[in-house]
Amino acid sequence: MSRKHHKPDWVPENAGKEFTTSVMSGVEGGHDGIPGQASVAVPRKHTPRRRRLTVDEYVAGVLAGDRNVLGQAITLVESNSQAHFDMGQEVLRQLIPHTGNSIRIGITGVPGAGKSTFIEALGLHLCEQGHKVAVLAVDPSSTVTRGSILGDKTRMELLSRDLRAFIRPSPSSGTLGGVTRKSRETILVCEAAGFDVILVETVGVGQSETTVRSMVDFFLLLMIAGAGDELQGIKKGIMELADALLVNKADGDNKIRANSARADYNRALHYLAPATEGWRTKAYTCSSLNGEGIDAIWKVISDFRQQITASGAFEKRRQRQTLDWVYSMVEEHLRASFFNHAGVGSIRADIEEAVVNGRIPPTVAVQMLIKKYEG
């Protein structure tokens, strides 16, 4: 812009004072206003589309903790295309020997309980202690709404700027099964990249809690005082999945209520079977806003890890989870193979019609469909 041209580009004719009629001159220098930088356009090199990495480059980059490659490797693993799938699986196969060295923590609770705020508080606390923290979200609802409830990076502004942390929003396409597979693989990729604390955020929607429980070592249920137990999923048995209950927002006027809620939950927990063999689930309070109780809950998680590792239950759970994972992938594969089967597709509409109108019993319909599929 010429320095003499101190007028706006456009003003209505006969404009009064309500319109700007002059423009202040800009700061000398570069586009960011840093003096001394000439604002001449730097001739741009012709940049080709980002070259696709080779399997070796993905593996080496992830193992070196290169955040850029890590992000790309997760994208590869999450991809739905067949070409990417095969490559992603090869990358994963080579990374597997470098995985497992972390504590995987699932965090659930109703929307608004403060999960994201808590994760940021805990994450920052752990980074300061020298941990490398990866945050993932599992939000099957995002596959329906196309907008992630949980992928709100903005809420974790400080943590997302910390180079010791890595935040990955929920994969946003596919079935719950697909989201689950991707999340499990993302956990492994992050572990291979050296992250030793994996925080997985989920929301109390549908099966997401059981799903996340099936991929973590420690499952934390975040509660708020006075929100109504029913609303918070107590009746749905979520409490029985948890290794700790954490009443969040124990600050200000809410502190007394939070403490009494904790006592109530502790009484209720007496009657429940523990989620983890040899561990007693208890209720605690914290404030993700002022940080009170964050260190204490980390201590609980560390004690858990120590005790459960010593008893062998830690390893046993992981082995069981790996097998569950294998069979859930088998199921996913079989389901897709069945529903994509051309022969099955050709008779499905007729059979469905016959079943709903009572002309053939469901059991017979199953036999016909399976026969077509296997034949």
Q: Which residues bind Mg ion (CB under 5 A)?
A: 115-116, 150
Q: Does 114 bind ligand GDP (CB under 6 A)?
A: yes
CA atoms within 13 A on the CB side of 270: 6
- In the region spanning residues 48 to 107, those forming contacts with ligand GDP, defined by CB under 6 A, are none
Instruction: State in angstroms the smallest separation of the CB of 300 from ligand GDP.
Output: 17
What is the amino acid identity at position 177?
G
Q: Does 116 bind ligand GDP (CB under 6 A)?
A: yes
Instruction: State in angstroms the smallest separation of the CB of 291 from ligand GDP.
Output: 9
Tell me whether residue 171 is exposed, middle or buried, using C-beta atoms within 10 angstroms of its C-beta: 0 to 12, 13 to 18, 19 or more.
buried
Yes or no: say if 373 and 338 are a contact pair by the CB < 8 Å rule.
yes
Specify the stretch interacting with ligand GDP by CB under 6 A; choose among 3-11, 22-30, 62-70, 285-293. Answer: 285-293
Q: Does 180 bind ligand GDP (CB under 6 A)?
A: no
Q: Which does 226 bind (CB under 5 to 8 A by kind): ligand GDP, Mg ion, none?
A: none
Q: Does 251 bind ligand GDP (CB under 6 A)?
A: yes
- Give the chain's length: 375
* Concatenated DSSP letters of 178-190: HHHHHHHHHHHHH
Q: Where are the alpha helices (DSSP H) in the chain?
A: 55-63, 67-78, 82-95, 115-128, 142-145, 157-161, 176-192, 208-213, 255-269, 294-311, 313-339, 342-356, 362-374
Instruction: State in angstroms the smallest separation of the CB of 108 from ligand GDP.
Output: 9
Which of these, 268, 272, 298, 348, lies nearest to 105 by C-alpha position? 298
Q: Which does 106 bind (CB under 5 to 8 A by kind): Mg ion, ligand GDP, none?
A: none
Q: Choose, by CB under 6 A, the member of 76, 87, 103, 113 that binds ligand GDP.
A: 113
Q: How far apart are CA 206 and CA 367, in angstroms?
A: 30
Q: Which does 117 bind (CB under 5 to 8 A by kind): ligand GDP, Mg ion, none?
A: ligand GDP
Residue with tokens 């991929």: 215
Instruction: State in angstroms the smallest separation of the CB of 237 from ligand GDP.
Output: 20
Specify the stretch interacting with ligand GDP by CB under 6 A; choose among 43-51, 209-217, 247-255, 300-308. Answer: 247-255
Buried b (16+ CB within 10 A) or exposed e, 198-214: bbbbbbbbeebbebbbb
What is the amino acid identity at position 130?
G
Q: Choose, by CB under 6 A, the member of 75, 117, 160, 173 that binds ligand GDP.
A: 117
Q: Does 202 bind ligand GDP (CB under 6 A)?
A: no
- Residues at the interface with ligand GDP (CB under 6 A): 109, 111-117, 155, 248-249, 251, 287-289
